[in-house]
Amino acid sequence: MTDNPSLLAAEHIGKSFIGMKALDDVSFDVRAGEIHALLGENGAGKSTLIKVLTGVYRPDAGVIKLDGQAVNVRDTQHAQKLGIGTVYQEVNLLPNMSVADNLFIGRQPMRFGFTDRRLMEKRSREILAQYDLDLDVTSDLSRYSVAVQQLVAIARAVDMSGRILILDEPTASLDSHETEILFAILRQLKARGLGIVFITHFLDQVYEICDRVTVLRNGKLAGSATTEVLPKIELVSLMLGRTLAVATHNVRRARPAPKVRQFSFKGLGRSRSIAPFDLDIGQGEVIGMAGLLGSGRTETARLLFGIDAADKGQASIEGKPVHIRTPREAVALGFGLCPEDRKSDGIIGDLSVRENISLALQAQRGWFNRLSRREQIALADKFVRALDIRTTDIEKPVKLLSGGNQQKVILARWLATSPRFLILDEPTRGIDVGAHAEIIALINQLCDDGMALLVISSEIDEIVAYSTRVVVLRDRVHRGELSGDDITTSNIMQMIAADPEGATA
Amino acid sequence: MSTRLLPFYATLLICALAYAACVFQFPAMLSFRVAGNLLTDNAFLGIAAVGMTFVILSGGIDLSVGSVIAFTGVLLAVLITHYGVHPLIAFAIALSITTVFGASMGAIIHYLEVPAFIVTLAGMFLARGMCFVMTTDSIPIDHQFYTALQGLFYRLPGGGRLTFIGCLMIIVFVAGILMAHFSKFGSYIYAVGGNRTSAELMGVPVARTTIGIYAMSGFLSGLAGIVFSLYTSAGYSLAAVGVELDTIAAVVIGGTLLTGGVGYVAGTFIGVIIQGIIQTYIVFDGTLSSWWTKIVVGVLLFSFIAMQRILVFLSSKRTTAIGGG
């Protein structure tokens, strides 16, 4: 089936943004009836290529061909008319409008010159039923979780894609059940002869569902092959441009637990958010927090950091009781939090790398004790080097950086305040393999330097690699704790799946 | 859904309570005559406020409304009285000019990426200045077609009159509501106000929508100018000063968020009527200064903005409790 003629092809595409070549002589094509994986590290140019294909950006060089005919994709609307449905990276929908509006905007069914709302709502329910979603389609999209919004975005794109479907990291916020449903739908579409472009960071998914792989690296084409003939290790080295280092051994686990655990939380809880839990953490410890989406991991972090006020329980530091009611108070006590959704909670896109890094330290010092520009530059330079943040200039607006580098900027912001207790919520979400390894190495290093860390992650392998202890959550309750040699992937999985409902996920 | 509709219901409740309080004190206010006059007296404000609702829903602002109303009035007076143009032709000329004026402001806002506040502020000065270029006098309009239109009304029981301009306002509101919820253009306005980048990626024609919104606001300001001219039978350069602020107040009191994306055209209608009721009350009382309207509107605005912030805060609390990992 991959011998079909190509449906959509990009030939010798070049695209530059001020001072940076985002795409350089990249060719890519997708055939009818195939799922084509587009891979690469963050900043490799995948999203840029997608945006060129769908008319968001205009290429500086090269041609786009549809059915062998050169086309000039004017804008996203034109791309949709050509039968290209797209889900761009990170959810891009309209939270202020209803679910049905989001599914049908721009192509509402009309009757006597007016939108036929009843038909629109009926069809919305039918579309969502394919994804096992039973939503109130007339209520605002903002009422639903990120995962549901992601599914709605996918449902919209699938429903619109007459010929080609492009999915830029669709599975980042989906759990395994939702991912399975998505894959089943993709297989149906493939059988119907659609060409599908699939961008992901999960290599297993590439092998599960994709027919061909194209890898980009630093804006250039690194290679293209059918999945059958490409071993995984070769794929990874294509992506990284180097062979993968052997996974670091978790050495700290053998170490004795610290005598004193300075940070202690007793019976902390908040009704309708998270059941009361106990948590103690000391210097040089990494607590991994595992659980499914919605199990209460983020809620725990929000409570510890004072974003949500606890309605029960007691926190103490070095035996002294403390009250943490706002993030400000938490910061003053030496806490730091890197939030899960960096786009809306962490990064200030229009500010430069330097300003983003200096922000938390400045806030901690108070507005009257201003960081001089020289101090800011020194600080930014230090962390850009220490964390290997890839940017042409520390004065570059953060929004122009790739996802992994944005994550590092947030991390740098908190590290600049030299926190004693740092909470990382999904630090590796949506970033590539290379940056992944770097962030893990960084976590290990911070721990060796004597920081107390709490890391929330959906990637169990990752948690196993760096945690000294692991807390497992399920259904908004802290279910148990693993330490020492008990920390294994299978133990964690068993705890997560202990009840029959969780077992399917 | 419920939190989104809450400001609208609150406005409706306040409107009902205010009217009830007025009627309690002056039973004569409960009559078709007062109701008819409410519509007639606020017709130009209401029509302009519909345009403003769409502008604010899209996350923008239009400060040129009052000046465009005055400009239309002066232009009509000059055309009809000085040049003997038939009012219908004068109407068509005025509406074309104001629509093009609005569309060009929209184009500047979109293509040059200048904030709407600045562009329409410039538009406000420009339109007001054009009035003075045409004439500095107050020009009366005395034309039989005007007299005919002014004499056109539906007699309500109890001596009330549903005038032509009152009807026109209701028609504009009904058309506005239909457009907001039952047309593609309406959905694009909400989309652009909700998240411009997302709207663009979802294939919403942002350029066309932005230009369309300001063109429509220009058109409705022109129509409000025609209504104002019918209401006063004159054109005067200094008329309708600050009307844009009254319309913004009506829109916000009507429950539309100034940040865009959330709100209802029907709410604006209630917002206009509330302002009208306060004015009527002052007329009935006879001793109060008309500035009391401004004071009450100010207090209402404050309380509505505070209420909206609280609602947004509460609903965001609730979503974080539901979502997240």
Terminal-to-terminal C-alpha distance of chain A: 32
Nearest to A39 by CA among A259, A201, A276, A249: A201
- pLDDT, residue B322, reads 44
CB contacts of A138 in chain B (<8 Å) are 1
d(CA B270, CA B243): 17
The CA distances from residue A331 to A312, A327, A457, B222, in Å, are: 21, 6, 22, 55
**How many percent of chain A have pLDDT more than 90?**
7
What domain range is A449 assigned to? 262-334+420-505
A461 and A491 share one domain: yes
**How many percent of chain A have pLDDT more than 70?**
89
Confidence check: pLDDT of A505 > 80: no
A363 touches chain B (CB under 8 A): no
Confidence check: pLDDT of A397 > 90: no
- Residue A145 is nearest to which of B188, B201, B324, comparing CB atoms? B324
Which of these three, A205, A240, A275, is where a domain ends? Answer: A240
CB contacts of B199 in chain A (<8 Å) are 94
Shortest Cα–Cα distance, A108 to chain B (Å): 7
- Determine, yes or no, domain membership for A128: yes
Shortest Cα–Cα distance, B173 to chain A (Å): 16
Confidence check: pLDDT of A110 > 60: yes
Contact A357, A379 (CB under 8 A): yes
CB contact under 8 A, A86 and B193: no
CB contact under 8 A, A56 and B321: no
- Assign A427 a pLDDT band (cuts: 50, 70, 90): confident
- Residue A272 is nearest to which of B184, B203, B321, comparing CB atoms? B321
Confidence check: pLDDT of B215 > 80: yes
Tokens 């399917």 belong to A504
A110 and A180 share one domain: yes
Chain A and chain B share a number of CB contacts under 8 A equal to 111
**Based on the structure, what is the number of domains in chain A?**
3
- pLDDT, residue A465, reads 82
DSSP A31: E
Q: What would the pLDDT profile of A133-167 be if each residue is shown by its tens digit?
A: 888 888 888 888 777 888 888 888 888 887 899 98
- CA dihedral sign, ordered B26, B27, B32, B33: negative
Residues in contact with B192: Cβ distance below 8 Å, sequence separation at least 6, in sequence order: B58, B59, B199, B204, B206, B209, B210, B213, B260
CB contact under 8 A, A105 and B188: yes
Identity of the residue numbered B35? A
The CA distances from residue B22 to A405, B18, B35, B274, B278, in Å, are: 63, 6, 13, 11, 9
Identity of the residue numbered A481? E
Confidence check: pLDDT of B183 > 70: yes
CB contact under 8 A, A299 and B262: no
- pLDDT, residue A482, reads 87
- Residue B319 is nearest to which of A92, A102, A142, comparing CB atoms? A142
Give the CA angle between residues B107, A59, A10 to the nearest 5°: 135
A426 touches chain B (CB under 8 A): yes
* Average pLDDT of span A187-213: 86
Q: What would the pLDDT profile of A432-477 be if each residue is shown by its tens digit?
A: 667 777 788 888 888 888 889 999 987 777 888 888 889 988 777 8
CB contacts of B204 in chain A (<8 Å) are 77, 105-106
Ranges A310-319, B128-137, B138-147, B207-216: which has the least confidence: A310-319
List beta partners, residue A312: A269
List beta partners, residue A337: A423
Q: What would the pLDDT profile of A278-302 be if each residue is shown by its tens digit?
A: 988 988 888 999 876 667 888 888 8
Most A CBs within 10 Å, among B187, B206, B315, B320, to test the A interface: B187
Q: What would the pLDDT profile of B263-294 be if each residue is shown by its tens digit?
A: 999 999 999 998 898 888 888 888 888 788 78
CB contact under 8 A, B325 and A426: yes
- pLDDT, residue B206, reads 92
Residues in contact with A405: Cβ distance below 8 Å, sequence separation at least 6, in sequence order: A42, A43, A389, A390, A391, A435
- Of B193 and A463, the structure prediction assigns the larger pLDDT to B193
Contact A42, A403 (CB under 8 A): yes
**pTM confidence score:** 0.71
Pairing relationship of beta strands A61-66 and B153-155 according to DSSP bridges: unpaired
* Average pLDDT of span B63-76: 96
- pLDDT, residue B272, reads 94
Which of these three, A401, A418, A435, is where a domain ends? Answer: A418
A172 and A287 share one domain: no
A456 touches chain B (CB under 8 A): yes
* Average pLDDT of span B200-218: 93
DSSP A112: T
Q: Which two tokens stand for residue A494?
A: 């068993």
Confidence check: pLDDT of A330 > 60: yes
- pLDDT, residue B15, reads 86
Among 1.10.3470, 3.40.50, 3.40.30, 1.25.40, name the CATH number for the domain at B2-317: 1.10.3470
Residue of A nearest to B184 (CA): A106
Across all residues in chain A, what is the average pLDDT? Answer: 82
Backbone angles phi, psi at A136, to 5 degrees: -80, 100
Shortest Cα–Cα distance, B192 to chain A (Å): 9
Residue of B nearest to A148 (CA): B323
3-state secondary structure chain B: CHHHHHHHHHHHHHHHHHHHHHHHHCHHHCCHHHHHHHHHHCHHHHHHHHHHHHHHHCCCCCCCHHHHHHHHHHHHHHHHHHCCCCHHHHHHHHHHHHHHHHHHHHHHHHHCCCCHHHHHHHHHHHHHHHHHHHCCCCEECCCHHHHHHHCCEEECHHHCEEEHHHHHHHHHHHHHHHHHHHCHHHHHHHHHHHCHHHHHHCCCCHHHHHHHHHHHHHHHHHHHHHHHHHHHCEECCCCCCCHHHHHHHHHHHCCCCCCCCCCCHHHHHHHHHHHHHHHHHHHHHCCCCCHHHHHHHHHHHHHHHHHHHHHHHHHHHHHHHHCCC
CATH of the domain at A46: 3.40.50.300
- Assign B13 a pLDDT band (cuts: 50, 70, 90): confident
DSSP A187: H
- Assign B80 a pLDDT band (cuts: 50, 70, 90): very high
- Assign A501 a pLDDT band (cuts: 50, 70, 90): very low
A72 and A200 share one domain: yes
The CA distances from residue B124 to B61, B128, B214, B243, in Å, are: 12, 6, 13, 11
- Of A338 and B130, the structure prediction assigns the larger pLDDT to B130
- Determine, yes or no, domain membership for A366: yes
Residue of B nearest to A294 (CA): B325
A21 and A47 share one domain: yes
d(CA A237, CA A434): 10
A215 and A276 share one domain: no
Nearest to A192 by CA among A227, A226, A165, A156: A165
Residue of A nearest to B207 (CA): A75
Q: Which two tokens stand for residue B168?
A: 């026109």
3-state secondary structure A124-167: HHHHHHCCCCCCCCCCEHHHCCHHHHHHHHHHHHHHHCCCEEEE
Identity of the residue numbered B134? M
- Residue B191 is nearest to which of A94, A139, A140, comparing CB atoms? A94
Contact B230, B236 (CB under 8 A): no
CB contact under 8 A, A105 and B191: yes
For residue A499, count other CB atoms closer than 10 A to its CB. 10
d(CA A353, CA B145): 67
Burial profile A465-485: b = 16 or more Cβ within 10 angstroms, e = fewer: bbbbbbbbbbebbbbeebeee
Nearest to A314 by CA among A260, A266, A380: A266
* Average pLDDT of span B150-158: 84
Q: What would the pLDDT profile of A226-273 be if each residue is shown by its tens digit?
A: 888 887 777 777 776 654 444 445 555 556 667 677 888 888 888 777
A282 and A135 share one domain: no
The CA distances from residue A135 to A121, A156, A403, B43, in Å, are: 11, 15, 31, 41
Q: Which two tokens stand for residue A28?
A: 């890519």
- Of B147 and B313, the structure prediction assigns the larger pLDDT to B147
Contact A351, A327 (CB under 8 A): no
- Residue B321 is nearest to which of A75, A115, A273, comparing CB atoms? A273
- Determine, yes or no, domain membership for A251: no
Please report how the helices A146-160 and A176-191 are oriented relative to each other, as an axis angle in degrees rounded to 10.
0
- Of A126 and B283, the structure prediction assigns the larger pLDDT to A126
- pLDDT, residue A500, reads 43
A203 and A293 share one domain: no
A206 and A102 share one domain: yes
Pairing relationship of beta strands A286-290 and A452-456 according to DSSP bridges: parallel
* Average pLDDT of span A389-402: 82
A409 and A425 share one domain: no
For residue A25, count other CB atoms closer than 10 A to its CB. 14
ipTM metric = 0.82
* Average pLDDT of span B120-127: 96
* Average pLDDT of span A398-402: 81
Shortest Cα–Cα distance, B58 to chain A (Å): 12
- Residue A143 is nearest to which of B188, B193, B319, comparing CB atoms? B319
- pLDDT, residue A1, reads 46
Backbone angles phi, psi at A438, to 5 degrees: -65, -40
Please report how the helices A117-129 and A146-160 are oriented relative to each other, as an axis angle in degrees rounded to 10.
110
- pLDDT, residue B214, reads 97
A42 and A172 share one domain: yes
Residue of B nearest to A141 (CA): B1
Contact A380, A358 (CB under 8 A): yes
User: Which among A403-407, B94-98, B236-240 has the top mean pLDDT?
Assistant: B94-98
* Average pLDDT of span A200-223: 84
* Average pLDDT of span A21-44: 85
Q: Element (H or E) spanning A446, and its range?
A: helix A433-448
* Average pLDDT of span B142-156: 88
Which of these three, A418, A446, A467, is where a domain ends? Answer: A418
A290 and A325 share one domain: yes
- Assign A43 a pLDDT band (cuts: 50, 70, 90): low
d(CA B124, CA B118): 10
